[in-house]
Structures are given as structure tokens and as C-alpha cells.
Structure 1
């Protein structure tokens, strides 16, 4: 696997990383291209749906990710309620050998708009079960603080609705979240271009999770390289403005 170009390291829960690009793997991801995409994007982490029924696991995709040394963060995108999400999270932990989850609780199948009440209940129980929980949340600073205090290991606010590609719709809300929590914040949805990813990192996000930029591109490997470079550039720009730099 290609070594990420960023020299500094950071922590996603207990995992130490160099790359700040998390690849969100769609269900129809082309397995024949996936390895080249992972290499081109210098990807160290990927998030993939895990079902409440373990028999529905996409083991072929998991195997490709493992072959390329990618750490897999299961997500609960199709969970109907908190109980469903918790079952899916435990199945995901069994699959990847690590109790961590990108917690997605939504009643909106088109844009995955988060359901804060169900999300909070599921997060609370999974934290009690010893999980590193990374909830997909609306860009709500108050909810971000509550989930941080609850014990979540990181947060993934939506820049805009999932799949919309509208970028960071409200940068001020992202800044408020970043100012008020001490855990990693990743732009968790809405990244539509490499420029959007650069902006997220320049705001101070620890990373981005993206599918659309790469999987909607005509040349997916070039898009992966461009996205990884944009993420690195955004982080460098943020570092250049830090008061303690």
C-alpha cells in the first residue's frame, strides 16, 4: 500500500493514522477498480454498510479492503431504529475485529438526514458496550457537545445531505463544533468536490469521509489522487494559520 503523503499523524479513536481521507464505499462499488482507487487515494480507512443480519455482509468488499491494509469502519446506514443500529454495530465489530462504528440513524432514505433522538439513544448504549462511536450528525453544535460528553470517540457532521454534493453549507456551524469539542471531527457527508474536502480540512476538520467525489468521476483513480491531495493541502493550510504553529 502506498504511504500517505502527510507526515503528521492523528488518532481516530485508538487508531493512529497519517491519511485524513476516509473512503465511503457504496454498495455498487466496482471491485475490479477498488484496489487501484485505494492506492491512488492513499486510503487507510474506509466505511462500509453493515446489516443487522450478519448474513447480509458484503464479504468480497471487506476482503479487498483487508488485502490493501485498509481499516474498515462499519456503518449502520440502513438501521431502522436504535436497537437495529446496535445489532448492526455488534455484527460489524465481529466482522472487523474491532468495536467501533460510524453510527447512522436516519428516517430519510434519500439523504440520510440524521435522527438526533434515536442517534443519541443508540450512541449511549454503544458507548456503554465499549464501542468507539462516530455518529453522523447534523451540523448542530449543541448536539455535538452532548455526544462528546457522552463519550463518543469522534463526530461526523454533515456538510450537506448525504449524496447531495453541496459541500459545507454552513462553515460557521462547523467552526462552532470544532471550537467546542475535543474529539476528532470529520466532515461526514456532502463532500462533492476536492475543493469541498480542502475547505473542510482548512476549517480544522481532522478528515473527511467521501464517496461521491470518487465514485461519480469518469476517471476514479485520478479523482482519488486529486481528493487525497486536496485533503493534504487543506490540512497544511489549517496548520499554517494555527496560533501555536
Structure 2
């Protein structure tokens, strides 16, 4: 049976106002943009803090205390003490954080109607240093390419030794808009028979192909931020060629 994991996110936290990005020029051939994607898990010498949905999903056998989150003191999350974590738990924690911490460098080609995303693990918010300090663990640098072809409605994700190609239909990929703020919406993703509700913040000043994921059929603006229960992806820079 399908379960629903709703990301309990206060919309006002991400809709603080549009960032001062350059408006789309009248003429251009390519758009170059960068997102930083970061895990929502916080680590310190006491333990780990995260959304309760994340802790229930990834660490169902561990007890946690409800507390305010260090990275967002108006939200309630969960805390697990460091001495509760086994070596297996720590290895799992490193895998979760590293797989959700990327620099996403995108380039949209107007003529080809194609976006190429280069996703690389880099040091964001001292992630590697914190993992080494508090868990005595490390992880390797890694990158992959995500090529989204809007002419062929085909997406190819290329890793070092393998790749995945799949078709998509953006008309079936929809945002459910909120009634209080037209720049905020939500969309669902399903994995392992679990459905997640994610929050998206769009910016009407941005060209719609500025996005770290496949476009939505009912969105004509670029994406400034995506927030899920286990990561955030935020637009950092844009330039036009």
C-alpha cells in the first residue's frame, strides 16, 4: 500500500522574496546557471538533527527527541544522540548526506532545446569537514551528467560506468499551486512505493528552463528553490550567452 510522506515545511520560510537575479534578456543562445543542493541533516558533536519524516524513513529503529532544528529554529524536527548511532548507522548517514549534496551546473541550449546538468559532489557548507570531525568518516568526490532533451522528451543520466535513459512527458508533470502565493507550489515524487510532497519556489522573472529538474507542464517561470524532506536545491547564479 502506498504511503504518503508530506514534507512539513512552512511556506513562509522559503518565500522571503525574489532574489536579485538578472532578468532574461531579449536575445540569447544559452543560459548558464548554478544550483547548490544540500542535505537537510545537521550534524554536531551531540548528534544529528533532521526532519522527523527523514528520521522515521531512514532510521526507523532509532528513537529521537523532538526539538527545534539548528538550521531553522522555527521548525520542529528530531534529534538523535551520537552515542545511539552504530557504525552501520554512521555509514548510512554519510551515504544519505553525500548523495544529496551537489553543485549543479546547468546549461540550456535554446536552439537544441536541451539542458545539460553537471552534478558534482563538492564542499558545500563544510560538509566533508563536519562528517570527518563528528563521524570520523569520509566520502569520495563524484560527478554525473543529466541531459534533458525537450525536443525528444528524453532524459539521459550518465554516470562513470553506467547510464539511464528514460522518456518523460512534461504535460503530466504538474505543480499544484497554493492559493495564498502564486510563486509557491508543491509536487509529488514517488520512490519505493512512497510518495513525497515537495515544495517549489518559482521566480516569474526567470526563464522557465532555469531548473535543476525536468520542467513542469504548468510552469512558465524559472525555479529559485526546491525543498524536500531530505534536501534543498537553491539557485546561486545565472548568466546568458
TM-score, normalised on structure 2? 0.29
Which structure dedicates a bigger proportion of its chain to strand?
Answer: 2
Larger radius of gyration: 2
Q: Which structure is higher in RCO with an 8 Å CA cutoff and minimum separation 6?
A: 2
Structure with higher helix content? 1
